[in-house]
Structure 1
Amino acid sequence: MECSKLLGVLAFICFLIPVMSSSSERQFTAWSKLRVNLTRRSEGESNSAERLRSAVDRSKRRMNTIEAFVEQQIAGPLDTETPIRVGSGEFLMSVAVGTPSVSFEAIVDTGSDLIWTQCMPCQSCYTQPTPIFDPSQSSSYSTVSCTDSLCDALGAFQTGCTSDCTFDYMYGDGSETSGDLAYESFSIGSGSGSMVQGIAFGCSHDNQGRGFSQGSGLVGLGRGSLSLISQLGSKVDNKFSYCLLPITDSSSQTSPLFFGEGSSLSGANTIPLIKNSVNPSFWYIPVTGITLNGNPVNIPAGTFDLQSDGSGGMIIDSGTTYTYLNEVAYSPLREAIQSSIDVTPVEDSSGDLCYQKSDNMALPSLAFNFHGGANYNLPPENFFIPQYGDLLCLAMGSSRGLSIFGNVQQQNFHILYDNAQNTLSFKPTKCDSL
């Protein structure tokens, strides 16, 4: 048995131009513009406070899992241990698979690659709200052979190969999925979107654990070759973008995600992305420091640098709610924030920095500084969020090494991932206006 992925992410509705290739050829017709709607996970919470607390709890578990995975990757696999991957994200998307198609809701994650859904026959499957996909009823299904390059892309997740390619992922929360790597026709979105043939995905026959609640599978938007963005490649210009509504938004509006030309973003700040050969699925960003009220926070130079052994650095992740900073950066930032607010903080059992909300409380301005001079200027609502009714709490925490730029800090920013140009662009935007 081998590892898993730490997932994290997004939900969408889109329309695709039909293609006529066979599934094994993995050919696509170019798309002119593609828009998708992101739906935030709720897991049955009855109000926004419960939804926020559940998201924060998942965020902390995800951060711990990511840290453990990165540390294990650096140390190298041990015969006595199963490497861990990351587990479920914060957003859902509608997907249909097969010919004829079967629809389901999938968790979407910018921190992982594999696309998968539960398949018949089920050795062990968790309950899902839609029918489980039966590949024997689909005329477009074919398995991936052991000699296929995408089987090699599974790496340590490959469970051995005789003729067909198989996988086994174990997630950080104990959830697990295993099955066959295959090609299928996919339609993405809740409408009658056209089928795209030849998408490699995991047809999972053995799925256990609680990490997949609300979804009937996963879609990876990481940087590896098995992710959706990598498989679509130049046909969507190797890029996608999204704009996340605030986590406190109680409306039924969804957040948009775009592929191809729809991802164009004029007047934005653009920064280089960093590739990590040890953890190639993650989107690493080049943070150089943090300023508070225009003044640099006393963080040692190089704190956010990616190290030669693959440790450190900062990733941007749509599936983590809070931002988590290396303790060397978090401690002085928390101290600086507390010193800048002329109100006594409220004791909170969670350890968060919280204040009694009041109309006249002045909150500081905060910015992340990037290599090349670009600044990501955060409004107060992107780093202080309401919790427990009348409390405002800092939406950040500490980590042991790797830092994570979470989705609260991304809300009401249009963010573009360009895998071909190896850049990330961002622009303050009212996401409900797109």
Structure 2
Amino acid sequence: MERNISLVSLLCFIIFNGCLVLEADAVKSQRSEKLKLIHRHSPELGHNPETTLGPPKNSEERLKQLVQSDKARLHAIKRRLGVVGKANDRVEFPFRSAADLGFGQYFVSLRMGTPAHTFTLLVDTGSCLTWLKCKYTCIDCSAAWYGRRFFSANESSSFKSIPCSSQECKTMDKASTLPTCPHPNAPCYYDYSYLDGLNVAGSYFNETVKFRFSNGRKKGLEMTMGCTDGLNNLKRFQEVDGILALGLDPLSFAVKAAHEFGGKFSFCLENHWIIKSESSYLVFGKEDQVPNMQFTDLLNEESKMTSLYPIKVTGISINGTMLDIPSYVWDMTDKGAGGMIVDSGTTVTHLVEQAFDKVIAAFEPSLSMYNKTKGNLDYCFNAPPAEIFDESIIPRVAIHFEGGAKLEPAVDGYIFDDSKGVKCLGFVRVAWPEMNIMGNLLMQNHLWEFDLANKKVGFAPSKCMLD
């Protein structure tokens, strides 16, 4: 989810900087946190006819939702960069999905408070503040406003409000933290605006989150969160209680959990087109040994994109032949042009025109037997039903990274059913100067590890099965 830039709010994206210090303690390095992931179109979430939640009716509607979501997310990233308008001891949380809300891809069930209660939070790799619908300082705390579930701050003995006069408040995101401080013990307030029109307001607090290790042991960690008592789009949050932020800012859930559990986190995204309920997961800490893991460096400190996950691409090959794409396409500039980011919140892979045109040209000879047609993506064609469609004619794509790592996605990571008799290539053409974005469909069926301590990103083929 991306947050708009205003006088009182600024999107706090994923960042990594020198302020993050990770302990090399041998015990901590063996701990990890595992969270079950389910795709947002999974029927497991259920469907409320009074809300926008629920799976799409058909493949055309489904792909249309994904493309619309990606457009909003790409615009948000550009706004933030100023391009527009200027182990065996892992802790496990179950994940589940919802219909596409334009915020992100996956949802997690989190237990917090004393006594502990379970909340469903949207996982957002593009923000730094975890927040929940919450009763604390609100005047009208009606059940109609909150929906079926909310966090009742005054009923938790471990809830700690953060005073507006405190040093902790002063270190929060200055653009979104309000200067309001009527008296020293008043809460530290925030106001966030998202590009899709969502606005959330409330106060910061510290609360205990319950972690359950895979060996049965439990542990509580104090996390900084937001108690949201102002939300302008309740319809989208009838089934969701808030947002779990996986940004790399010291405030974020990801950084604090990774600090405790070995300096890294990882996730494995199930096949988008085969909906299951138990195969995707998110892990904080050390993963089991994975064969064929390849690594490339995170480049946060070398570009303006310090809030994202930029990695250095050296090229794209089709059927083993490297395409003649200008090298500057993969170089990041201080104005947010070029380079590639890994973004699990974007569905379809975005390529700048210099790269997109070369990829399409390499595909066209193999697809010449099919007529081009209109669809939800930039290159679509008429094709026979899946049971007789010859997938072997589809060229194999590989993304090459600095250091020799190479991602070879499955065909269903870049060939999608758009509607009956229509398929599309899973790439979106964006104008230069913009950035390239690797979407989660290209990442599916791979384990992705974000080693924050060593500033590396790793990946390996995986069936994404929980232990």
Question: Is the TM value for this pair above 0.5?
Answer: yes
Q: What are the ranges of 5 or more consecutive residues in structure 2 without an aligned counterpart?
A: 1-6, 15-26, 42-52, 87-100
Q: State the alpha-carbon separation in 2 of the partners of residues 88 and 7 from structure 1.
A: 13
User: Could you say if the C-alpha distance between residues 147 and 382 of structure 1 is closer, same or farther in structure 2, counting changes exceeding 3 Å?
Assistant: same
- Hey, which bits of structure 1, 4+ residues long, moved more than 6 A? none
Of 342, 351, 360, the residue aligned with 1:334 is: 360
User: Could you say if the C-alpha distance between residues 333 and 211 of structure 1 is closer, same or farther in structure 2, counting changes exceeding 3 Å?
Assistant: farther
Question: In the TM superposition, what whole-angstrom CA distance separates every residue of 1:348-387 from its partner, at most 9, and x where no partner exists?
Answer: 1434322314433500011111112221112211111222
Q: State the alpha-carbon separation in 2 of the partners of residues 274 and 379 from structure 1.
A: 26
Q: Is the 8 A contact 1:89 1:109 kept in 2?
A: yes
User: Could you say if the C-alpha distance between residues 380 and 135 of structure 1 is closer, same or farther in structure 2, counting changes exceeding 3 Å?
Assistant: same
Question: In the TM superposition, what whole-angstrom CA distance separates every residue of 1:261-301 from its partner, at most 9, and x where no partner exists?
Answer: 23653431100011157443311111122111112222211
Q: Offset of 1:256 from its aligned partner?
A: 1.6
Of 250, 255, 262, the residue aligned with 1:237 is: 262
The answer to whether structure 1 residue 206 and structure 2 residue 239 are counterparts is no
Q: What does residue 344 of structure 1 align with?
A: 370
The answer to whether structure 1 residue 426 and structure 2 residue 430 are counterparts is no
User: Could you say if the C-alpha distance between residues 349 and 234 of structure 1 is closer, same or farther in structure 2, counting changes exceeding 3 Å?
Assistant: closer
Question: In the TM superposition, what whole-angstrom CA distance separates every residue of 1:185-206 from its partner, at most 9, and x where no partner exists?
Answer: 11368x9994523200011111
Structure 2 counterpart SS, 1:229: helix
Q: What does residue 44 of structure 2 align with?
A: none
The answer to whether structure 1 residue 3 and structure 2 residue 9 are counterparts is yes
Of 139, 142, 149, the residue aligned with 1:131 is: 149
The answer to whether structure 1 residue 258 and structure 2 residue 310 are counterparts is no
Matches within 5 A, 1:75-114: 75=86, 88-114=103-129
Q: State the alpha-carbon separation in 2 of the partners of residues 74 and 312 from structure 1.
A: 18
Matches within 5 A, 1:25-424: 30=28, 32-42=31-41, 43-45=53-55, 47=57, 49=59, 50-71=61-82, 75=86, 88-120=103-135, 121-122=137-138, 130-145=148-163, 146-149=165-168, 151-160=170-179, 162=181, 163=184, 164-187=187-210, 194=218, 196-209=220-233, 212=237, 214-262=239-287, 264-276=289-301, 278-355=304-381, 356-357=383-384, 358-360=388-390, 362-400=393-431, 401-424=434-457
User: Normalized against structure 2, the TM-score is what?
Assistant: 0.78
Amino acid at match of 2:223: I
Structure 2 counterpart SS, 1:119: strand
Q: What does residue 21 of structure 1 align with?
A: none
User: Normalized against structure 1, the TM-score is what?
Assistant: 0.83
Paired residues, what number? 404
Q: What are the ranges of 5 or more consecutive residues in structure 1 without an aligned counterpart?
A: 9-28, 76-85
Residue identity over aligned pairs, in percent, reads 27
Q: Is the 8 A contact 1:187 1:193 kept in 2?
A: no
Q: Offset of 1:335 from its aligned partner?
A: 2.5
Question: In the TM superposition, what whole-angstrom CA distance separates every residue of 1:209-265 from its partner, at most 9, and x where no partner exists?
Answer: 366564210011121111112112432112111111111113333412112123653
User: Could you say if the C-alpha distance between residues 220 and 425 of structure 1 is closer, same or farther in structure 2, counting changes exceeding 3 Å?
Assistant: same
Q: State the alpha-carbon separation in 2 of the partners of residues 138 and 333 from structure 1.
A: 55
Task: Name the stretch that deviates more: 255-264 or 173-182.
Answer: 255-264
Amino acid at match of 1:367: A
Structure 1 counterpart SS, 2:330: coil
Q: State the alpha-carbon separation in 2 of the partners of residues 117 and 200 from structure 1.
A: 11
Q: What does residue 94 of structure 2 align with?
A: none
User: Could you say if the C-alpha distance between residues 198 and 432 of structure 1 is closer, same or farther in structure 2, counting changes exceeding 3 Å?
Assistant: closer
Q: State the alpha-carbon separation in 2 of the partners of residues 399 and 149 from structure 1.
A: 41
Q: Is the 8 A contact 2:376 2:418 kept in 1?
A: no
Structure 2 counterpart SS, 1:178: strand
Structure 1 counterpart SS, 2:38: strand
Amino acid at match of 1:44: G
Amino acid at match of 1:236: F
Q: Is the 8 A contact 1:315 1:403 kept in 2?
A: yes
Q: Offset of 1:337 from its aligned partner?
A: 1.9
Q: Is the 8 A contact 2:304 2:333 kept in 1?
A: no
Question: In the TM superposition, what whole-angstrom CA distance separates every residue of 1:28-73 from its partner, at most 9, and x where no partner exists?
Answer: x947343210122233125562444423322222222222222269
Q: Is the 8 A contact 1:87 1:211 kept in 2?
A: no
Task: Name the stretch that deviates more: 412-421 or 368-377.
Answer: 368-377
Q: Is the 8 A contact 1:113 1:221 kept in 2?
A: yes
Q: What does residue 23 of structure 1 align with?
A: none
Amino acid at match of 1:199: M
Q: State the alpha-carbon separation in 2 of the partners of residues 287 and 429 from structure 1.
A: 22
